[in-house]
Each structure stands twice: as C-alpha cells, then as structure tokens.
Amino acid sequence: MPNRHARRTHAEPRTGRTADAIAAFLLAAAVLASWTAVDPKSIDSYDPPKAMLAATGIALAAAAALASRVLRRGLEPPGISLPAALLLAGAAGAAVSALASPRRAASLDALRLAAVFLLALPLGASEAYRRHRGRIVAVFGAAAALNGLLVVLAAARIWSPLVVYGYSARSGLGALVGNAGYAGIALALAAVTLLPIAVRAGRGRAFAIAAIVLCGAGLLSTQSLSAVAVAAAGTAVYAFFAGSRRIRIGVAAAAAVILLAAVLYRPMRVRVARFVRAARQGEWNAAFTARAAPWLAAAEMIRAHPAGGIGIGNFGAEYVPARIAAEARIRRRLVLPGMPTNSFAQAHNDYLDLFAATGIPAGLCVVAAFAALLGRLVRRARGDPSAAGAAALLTGAAVAAFAWFPFQIVPTALWILLESGRADRAVRERA
Amino acid sequence: MRGGRRGAAALAAIAFAGAGIAAVAPEWKKGAALRRLREGEALVLAASRQNDAVARAAILRDAEEVLEEAAAELPHDPRPPYLLGSASRLRGDAAGALERYRRSLAIEERPETDLNLSRAHMAAGHPRAAEKDAVRAVWLAPNLLPELPEEARIPVRNRIWQLTSDLKRGKGYPPPLSKEPKTALR
C-alpha cells in the first residue's frame, strides 16, 4: 500500500503518468482475471480463460509501460542484472529446445504463451508497477480473499458458485481457481504477500489482516499440506528477516492460530494422519498422492534428452511412455488404487518439469536466475521490510515448486513474475 | 525533442501492442474451440443414449461437424480426435474409429483412449489387438477394469498380475499397445 506522506514528499516525474495509469489498470485487470475468470461453457472451465485474459492484459499493459518508458528515457536500453541475464540465457535455451523438439509445433505454441507471461517480469520492474503497486496489491488481495471465502463456504457445504463433479470431497474446494491444490498454493502465496502490509502500521493494514484471515481459512479448508508448508516457509522467512521483535511476536502468534486451527479442523487432521501413516510405512507414492509417477516420468525425460529437453508444453504428451520406461527401470507399477486419473499434464515439481522441458543447461540458467535473485534479497532483507517480503514470497514459491507447479498456475505464475521483476529492480537500485 | 519522444512512444506502444495481440490471438481462438469441444462431447454423449437410429445419425453428424472445427483449432489436444473416434464407433465405423483413436494417441496417450481403441479393435474383429490394448488401459488406470465387458475382466486382471510379478522379478516389461505411437523418448 502506498504511503500518503511519502507520496506528497517524493517528487515523481510527471512524464508518462497516463501511460503508467493505463498499464496499471490493464495489469490489475489481468491479476483479477487470473483469480476469477471461469467459462462454464468450456470443456476446460478454469485454466484457459484465466490464461487468455491474463495474457491479453499483460501484453497490452506491457505496450503501455513501454510507451511510458520511451517518454521518460527515449530509446535508452534498460540495464540488465545478473538474474535477468541468466533468465534470458535460460529462455534462449528453451526456445532452442522447442525448435529442436520432436513435437515442435506443440512446443512453439506453449512457448508463445510463456513468452507473453514472461513480460510480467519487466512489467514488475516498470514505473507503472512502482507507482500503482498498492492498488494492484489491493486487487490481488481482494481476489484472493474472495477465493478463500468461497473455499470456506464450499467446505462448510453452504454455497459454491459452480457444481464440480469429482472423486473426492476435495474436488469441489477449488473455488474460482479450479482445483483444491491450486487454490491452496495460491492462497498461501497471497497470505505471504499480504503479511508485510498486515504487520506494519499504515494504510491498508485492516484490509490485509482481513484478507489474510480469509486466505488462511481458505487454505486450511483445501486440506492441502503443500499449501501449509508454503505459508509456513514464507512466514518464517519474513519473521526472521523483518527485524523488530513486535513483528516476530505478531507473526508467531498468527502462525500459532493457524496451527491450532489446523489441529482443530478434522479433515486437515485426517489428511495429516494419512500422510504420516503412509510415510511411516515407506509408501512415499501414497504419501505424496501419486506424485512418484510424474516425478519418475520427468526423470526419464531428462535421461532421454539431458541437453535439449523434450520442449516446453510436451510433458503430458510424453508422460505415458516415460512412465512405462520408469516402471521398467524401477521394476514396479506406478499406480495408486482409487486415483481417478492416471494422466498428468505437469510433473508436479516445477524443477523437474523445467529440466525435462528445456534440458539441464537451460534449466540450470533459470534456477540460477531465481537463486541469484533470492540470494540478493536475503542479503538485503535485514532492515529492509520490502526485500524481506519479496524473499518470503520467493521462498514460498520455491517450496511450492517441489510438489506443485506454481510457475504454471495462472494466478501464482503472474504474481511471482511481477514481484520478481519488482524485487530485481529494487535490488539494482539499492546496489 | 519532446514531440519526437511522444511519436516514438506512440509508435513503440502500437507496435508492441500489435505484436502482443498477435501472440495472444490464438488463445482466444482456443477458448472458442474449447467451447465447441464441450458441445461436441455433449452431442456424442447424447448420441450414445439415443436408441432411434435416424435421430442418432443426425446427432452424430452435428457432433462430427463441431468436433472437426474444434480439432482444426486444437491440433495439439488429443480430445477432439478421441471424441471423433467415439462418434465413428457409434456410427458403426470401426475402421474410422481406429484411425481417429490412433490420431489421438499420436498427440497424447491416455488410458481411456487405449480402452476405446480396444473396443474399436473388437468391433473390427481384431480380438488379440483388443486384448492387448485393454491390458495397457487397465495397467495405466486400474479404475478402468469395470468398464471392460464382464468376460474380459478376469483375463485382463490375471494378465496384469502376471506382468506385475514378472516386472518385480526383472523378467518382464509393462504391456505395450497393439501399435505403439511415436514418442520423443525413443
């Protein structure tokens, strides 16, 4: 949230203000659509409408932000940080891998959409985002809180905006995001984003606290253990770096309340007990709800194409042959009785997915870019609440990427990229 | 100077917005195609429940028209050819169904496609291929076993037990399809 006092005393250039306002409006619309767009008449009601509207908003916002930059700085090229350079190298590797992929057309198609989403990085670093971030965070928080509320209402069997047919009670807990796991991860990252606003005195604090309560209640209702881990990791990082004792006590109290609620909420208790039982018996595939199959399949893809990958967007197409190869290698059938689907479009681990899609060299560049940014943020996090908040969000995303795919879920991908761009700019300016 | 910058900014914004719209436009087309796909799926389902042969044929014609349109816009989606295969099977065209299911498998193998490929093989009079594909379908997704004809369930289950046991002893390999589609892994 912007500080009124800061706005009065800080001399801001007037040039490009209209273009910035247009970019911010389009970006806010993209953020809102990424959380709420649903097309009940489509065979895929949740993800494609979100991706379509968010990508449109990003592309047009980028055009407006570019106009603003040209007005202020002419055609002067922007400075490039080490994380940005590494990411560009990774993106170039991904493009080469798509061109060399045996399923080239499908891969280039996926690459096109990914390229549009990557524009969220420079947008996050743009003047438009710096000027209007408070408003965009407000839209983000409100959309997340709405989804949190919808998950709670659905879990309590009070009301749900859409009828979802699924194999378990959790199937209907995806709110407008569409899937209980996606919703849990997105709500966890939203809560971590709003934490720095909630713990400091200033404008928007009450709103942030209310939104965090709804996101927290929603993420517990999704019964997603990964989401709890993401929220815990992000919160711990923020509490560790944010400095003051008062903040640490506040964050610890909030964490204690969430933990207590998790213990008291029966479905969550049952889920934890199931996880612990399966882990004790050494049934890791059951503990991680059948993730062994996509993880091992991704490993087979990496083994088959270590240098160039199979091309982004091809995981689903290569999943079954890779699973069969993995079964032959480990001499075990990779199924979980009772699972309704045995097809996977993602590896359920963004790191494995990345290496499988782009190959090890390009994948390492992308991971190094992320690690370099996170490392720089961590170095500045003590005494810099903004850097601590960004480090908390990126840590949450890094944790989520082990068992989910936050870089492929529309609301989380857009937000992580925007905030990464913003963090990179802040680090560069303070260096 | 200022006017020059304004002109450059406007040009840059217009060029970038144009490129952005061109990059995003296929997503809008896909959105419309996914709606058609849902419509086609509903029509195939309606045809499968229709007992009157003439009415069924009319519904299937509509379904195929809608699904062909969806297939043109979604060349990397295995569902349009899969549903077209099911429409062919409902029309009694086993050869057409086999061709369309194989087209779907070439895009992405899914257990339900293997199961329907098995059904199409059976209708075309290829019982050995039908058994192979049924075993592969149930190997991949055990919940498909009840979808098989009653007389096929026990042989398929026994074959899978045997394959699982052979695999554990390092003497076997997971079951192949009657005709394996191409993959990047080989």
If you average pLDDT over residues A13-33, what whole number do you get?
93
Note whether residue A399 is domain-resident.
Answer: yes
- Looking at residue A341, what is its pLDDT? 66
Examine the pLDDT at A402 and tell me if it is beyond 90.
Answer: yes
Q: What tokens does B147 get?
A: 């979808």
Give the confidence band of A1 by pLDDT, cuts at 50, 70, 90. very low
The number of beta carbons lying within 10 Å of the beta carbon of residue B123 is 17
**What residues in A contact B69, CB-CB < 8 Å?**
none
> Of B36, B125, B148, which Cα lies nearest the Cα of B84?
B36
**Could you tell me if B52 and B116 lie in one domain?**
no
- Looking at residue B186, what is its pLDDT? 67
- The region of weakest confidence among A45-54, B105-114, B170-179 is B170-179
Note whether residue B91 is domain-resident.
Answer: no
Distances (CA, A) of B53 to B9, B49, B61, B63: 64, 11, 12, 15
**Could you tell me if B184 and B101 lie in one domain?**
yes
Residue-wise pLDDT tens digits, A348-360 = 999 999 999 999 9
Residue-wise pLDDT tens digits, A192-242 = 999 999 988 788 999 999 999 999 999 999 988 899 999 999 998 998 888
CB pairs under 8 A between A and B: 159
Note whether residue A318 is domain-resident.
Answer: no
Residue-wise pLDDT tens digits, A104-152 = 999 999 999 999 999 999 999 999 999 999 999 999 999 999 999 999 9
B72 at A interface, C-beta within 8 A: no
Residue of A nearest to B105 (CA): A317
Cα(A271)–Cα(A278) distance, integer angstroms: 11
**Could you tell me if B69 and B112 lie in one domain?**
no
Diameter of chain B by CA atoms?
84
Cα(A212)–Cα(A205) distance, integer angstroms: 10
Residue ending a domain, among B77, B105, B128, is B77
C-beta separation of A314 from A357 below 8 A? yes
If you average pLDDT over residues B153-179, what whole number do you get?
93
Residue of B nearest to A333 (CA): B164
Note whether residue B85 is domain-resident.
Answer: no
Note whether residue A300 is domain-resident.
Answer: no
If you average pLDDT over residues B6-22, what whole number do you get?
91
Cα(A211)–Cα(A222) distance, integer angstroms: 16
B109 at A interface, C-beta within 8 A: yes
DSSP output for A261-306: HHHH-HHHHHHHHHHHHHHHTT-HHHHTTTTHHHHHHHHHHHHHST
Full residue range of the structural domain in which residue B21 is found: 1-77
Give the confidence band of A340 by pLDDT, cuts at 50, 70, 90. low
Note whether residue A339 is domain-resident.
Answer: no
**CA of A198 vs chain B CAs: smallest distance (Å):** 36
Secondary structure (3-state) at A343: coil
Cα(A147)–Cα(A185) distance, integer angstroms: 12
**Could you tell me if B10 and B62 lie in one domain?**
yes
SS3 content of chain B, % helix, strand, coil (to 5): 80, 0, 20
> Of A334, A316, A338, which Cα lies nearest the Cα of A324?
A334
**Could you tell me if B115 and B144 lie in one domain?**
yes
Percent of chain A past pLDDT 70, that is, above it, reads 94
Cα(B57)–Cα(B47) distance, integer angstroms: 8
Give the confidence band of B77 by pLDDT, cuts at 50, 70, 90. very high
If you average pLDDT over residues A297-313, what whole number do you get?
96
B168 at A interface, C-beta within 8 A: yes
**CA of A34 vs chain B CAs: smallest distance (Å):** 14
Note whether residue B82 is domain-resident.
Answer: no
Diameter of chain A by CA atoms?
68
If you average pLDDT over residues B176-180, what whole number do you get?
85
Note whether residue B136 is domain-resident.
Answer: yes
Note whether residue B168 is domain-resident.
Answer: yes
Smallest Cβ–Cβ distance between A42 and the set B5, B34, B185 belongs to B34
**Could you tell me if B43 and B4 lie in one domain?**
yes
If you average pLDDT over residues B101-111, what whole number do you get?
96
B110 at A interface, C-beta within 8 A: yes
Smallest Cβ–Cβ distance between B27 and the set A51, A74, A310 belongs to A51
The residue assigned the tokens 């990427």 is: A401
The residue assigned the tokens 């919808």 is: A150
Examine the pLDDT at A11 and tell me if it is beyond 60.
Answer: no
If you average pLDDT over residues A234-259, what whole number do you get?
81
Note whether residue B88 is domain-resident.
Answer: no
Residues in chain B: 186
If you average pLDDT over residues B103-117, what whole number do you get?
96
**What residues in B contact A106, CB-CB < 8 Å?**
75-76
Full residue range of the structural domain in which residue A59 is found: 15-278+344-430
Note whether residue A310 is domain-resident.
Answer: no
Residue B96 CB contacts under 8 Å (≥ 6 apart), including other chains: B85, B88
**Could you tell me if B66 and B105 lie in one domain?**
no
**CA of A301 vs chain B CAs: smallest distance (Å):** 7
- Looking at residue A9, what is its pLDDT? 44
Residue-wise pLDDT tens digits, A145-180 = 999 999 999 999 898 887 666 556 677 889 999 899
- The region of weakest confidence among A20-24, A268-272, A290-294, A336-340 is A336-340
**Could you tell me if B109 and B186 lie in one domain?**
yes
Note whether residue A53 is domain-resident.
Answer: yes
Note whether residue B32 is domain-resident.
Answer: yes
The total domain count for chain A is: 1
**Could you tell me if B105 and B183 lie in one domain?**
yes
Residue ending a domain, among B24, B49, B77, is B77
> Of A210, A281, A199, which Cα lies nearest the Cα of A245?
A199
Helix A292-304, helix A350-358: angle, nearest 10:
30
If you average pLDDT over residues A302-331, what whole number do you get?
96
B107 at A interface, C-beta within 8 A: yes
Percent of chain A past pLDDT 90, that is, above it, reads 69
Note whether residue A102 is domain-resident.
Answer: yes
Note whether residue B2 is domain-resident.
Answer: yes
**What residues in A contact B20, CB-CB < 8 Å?**
56, 58-60, 62-63, 116, 119
Q: Cβ–Cβ of A304/B5 closer than 8 Å?
A: no
B22 at A interface, C-beta within 8 A: no
**Could you tell me if B72 and B101 lie in one domain?**
no
**CA of A96 vs chain B CAs: smallest distance (Å):** 16
Cα(B83)–Cα(A287) distance, integer angstroms: 35
**Could you tell me if B71 and B103 lie in one domain?**
no
Cα(A139)–Cα(A90) distance, integer angstroms: 31
Secondary structure (3-state) at B149: coil
- Looking at residue B2, what is its pLDDT? 60
Q: Cβ–Cβ of B184/A314 closer than 8 Å?
A: yes
> Of A220, A209, A231, A213, which Cα lies nearest the Cα of A151?
A220
Q: Where are the alpha helices (DSSP H) in A308-409?
A: 315-330, 350-358, 360-381, 385-403
Distances (CA, A) of A197 to A15, A192, A208: 29, 10, 6
B5 at A interface, C-beta within 8 A: yes
Note whether residue A99 is domain-resident.
Answer: yes
For chain A, give the mean pLDDT: 90
B3 at A interface, C-beta within 8 A: no
The total domain count for chain B is: 2
**Could you tell me if B101 and B181 lie in one domain?**
yes
Residue-wise pLDDT tens digits, B26-38 = 999 999 999 999 9
Calculate ∠ Cα A263-A266-A270, nearest 5°.
Answer: 90
**CA of B13 vs chain A CAs: smallest distance (Å):** 5
Q: What tokens does B135 get?
A: 């075993």
Residue of A nearest to B176 (CA): A324
